[in-house]
Amino acid sequence: MTQAVPSPREIATELEKSVIGQRVALQEMSIALSKKLAGLAVGNILMIGSSGTGKTTLMRAVESYLEARPHLSLRSTVVRMHANILGEAAQKGRPGEVVLQRLLERAREQLGIDASAESLLKQASNGIVFVDEVDKIRSYIGDRPNTSGIRAQEALLTVIENEAVPLTLPPWAGGKTVTVDSSGLLFVCGGAFEGLYDSVFDRVTIGRDRGALKPVTVVEDGQVHERLEFVLREWLRNEDLFDYGMSPQFLSRFDAVVLLADLTIDELVRIFLEIPNSGYDQARAYFESRGLHLALSPDAIRRIALEASKEKRLGARALKEVFRRVVRDYEFDPKANGPEGSVLLDVAEVDAALAT
Ligand SMILES: Nc1ncnc2c1ncn2[C@@H]1O[C@H](COP(=O)(O)OP(=O)(O)OP(=O)(O)O)[C@@H](O)[C@H]1O
Ligand SMILES: [Mg+2]
């Protein structure tokens, strides 16, 4: 039985259950997945976004989406790996092999151990490869060359859009060396590229393109101010990524470079409330186990999101950390402070907890 390939919008609707905001990245990913599932050619994607803004969450969401739909996942085997693994593998031999071997293993899980090497290879060579933390394979750190990064980028180049990748099959697949056409693979790489924001800001304010970013005049509280409004998306050029340590050959393999936005307070509130197994869910389950009902007022949640948003380097991860500070005392010594065995936290309680 053949089933219709879901449209990008249908895919996005599902992914949105675990990824809040990040509209552009969701769109790009949903379009790519829809095309891939239809057997069409798709350009590779590079995702850049601050830490804790949802890059890994989005990759995982796609994995779960496919896992939950076997009829779709058979159309495209997916693997997710940390970029550093490629550098390590490169030291041991043919670097691109590690990617293909992962895909092959995954294909075997899907098709069963009796599947022929040929069918496994066919399945694997049509897969989706998520390479996470791709910024860790920059070719230099400061002024020093980063050998494993250089090797890892080269390793990826050998498998991205290559029609003839040599691959020694694992023993369970016969152990022969074969040639694999990997041009059907879709690569989605993601990384935080820490420091990129600052270096591009410097370029357009005090560096090479000094003065390019013009101050805007704003009126605030009746006073006129001049302010620099910098949005990375508007200024990022390929050269900035070259300078960061991604080679031009490597970058040229990506059709789309997607910048994830920093999360807004509203989005942090939604992440706090809507993402399953959050710190909030866990705390509620704990109080429930002690016969108490935990409730936070909307203002209290906003206050937590606001506090979390101040920790720019953590993104949504800060929510957990801030929330821990808020509930610690209450979890340590659970007792009702509201009606019918409820623990009520309003802004005053949150403020008090955060002040200690
Ligand atoms: N856009 C988002 N939607 C839903 N949850 C999010 C989002 N961004 C972050 N989170 C939450 O924050 C946590 C960290 O997010 P994630 O691992 O996706 O960050 P990342 O962008 O991969 O960061 P890093 O660059 O540090 O790896 C996740 O566990 C998730 O719960
Ligand atoms: Mg991540």
pLDDT in tens, 126-184: 999 999 999 999 998 888 999 889 988 988 998 998 888 889 999 988 889 999 999 99
Question: Structural domain tally of the chain?
Answer: 3
155 and 304 both lie in a single domain: no
37 φ/ψ sector (left φ>0, alpha ψ -120 to 50, else beta):
alpha
CA–centroid distance, 155 to ligand 1, in Å, is 27
Strand pairing category for 177-180 and 165-168 = antiparallel
Burial 264-278 (b: 16+ CB within 10 A, else e): eeebbbbbbeebeeb
Q: Are residues 12 and 104 in the same domain?
A: yes
Q: Are residues 172 and 215 in the same domain?
A: no
Q: Which of 18, 47, 57 gets mutated to test ligand 1 (max ligand atoms within 8 A of its CB)?
A: 57
Which atom of ligand 1 lies nearest, measured to the CA of 263? 1
Q: Is 17 found in the same domain as 47?
A: yes
**Same domain flag for 96 and 215:** no
Task: For residue 98, give its domain range.
Answer: 8-196+236-259
Indicate if 155 and 247 belong to the same structural domain.
yes
Atom of ligand 1 nearest to the CA of 192: 25
Provide the mean pLDDT of the chain. Answer: 92
Q: Examine the domain organization and report whether 94 and 187 are in the same domain.
A: yes
Task: Using the predicted structure, report yes or no on whether residue 85 has a pLDDT greater than 80.
Answer: yes
Flag whether 242 is in a domain. yes
What is the CA 276 to chain-centroid distance, rounded? 17
Distance of CA 146 to the CA centre of its chain: 23
Asked if residues 48 and 259 have their Cβ atoms less than 8 Å apart, the reply is yes
Q: Please indicate, yes or no, if residue 313 is contained in any of the structural domains.
A: yes
Euclidean distance between CA atoms 156 and 134, whole angstroms: 10
Q: In the numeric block, which tokens belong to residue 349?
A: 């309680």
Residue nearest to atom 20 of ligand 1 (CA): 52
Residue 159: inside a domain: yes
SS3 172: helix
At a CB cut-off of 8 Å and minimum separation 6, what does 160 contact?
44, 182, 185, 187, 253
Tell whether 225 and 319 lie within a shared domain.
no
Instruction: Indicate the pTM of the whole model.
Output: 0.92
Residue 294: phi, psi to the nearest 5?
-90, 130
Determine, yes or no, domain membership for 1.
no
Closest alpha carbon to 238 in 190, 196, 207, 205: 196
Which amino acid, 261?
A
Q: CA quadruple 51, 54, 56, 57: dihedral positive or negative? A: positive
Ligand 1 atom having least distance to the Cα of 50: 25
Is 82 a pocket residue for ligand 1 (Cβ < 6 Å)?
no
242 shares its domain with 201: no
Task: Indicate if ligand 1 lies below 6 Å from the C-beta of 275.
Answer: yes
Residue 326: Cβ within 10 Å count: 23
Ligand 1 pocket check for 316: Cβ under 6 Å: yes
350 lines ligand 1 (CB under 6 A): no
Which-ligand-closest: CA of 49? 1
pLDDT tens-digit series, residues 187-207: 999 999 999 999 999 999 999
- 162 and 38 inside one domain: yes
Whether the predicted pLDDT of 347 surpasses 50: yes
Q: How would residue 1 be classed by pLDDT, with cut points 50, 70 and 90? A: very low
Task: Look up the CATH number of the domain holding residue 157.
Answer: 3.40.50.300
**DSSP letter at 95?**
T
Mean pLDDT check: name the lowest of 10-19, 97-106, 161-170, 189-198. 161-170
Q: How confident is the model at residue 276 (pLDDT cuts 50, 70, 90)?
A: confident
Q: Tell me: do 55 and 78 sit in the same domain.
A: yes
Q: For residue 3, is it within any domain?
A: no
**Residues 99 and 160 grouped into a single domain:** yes
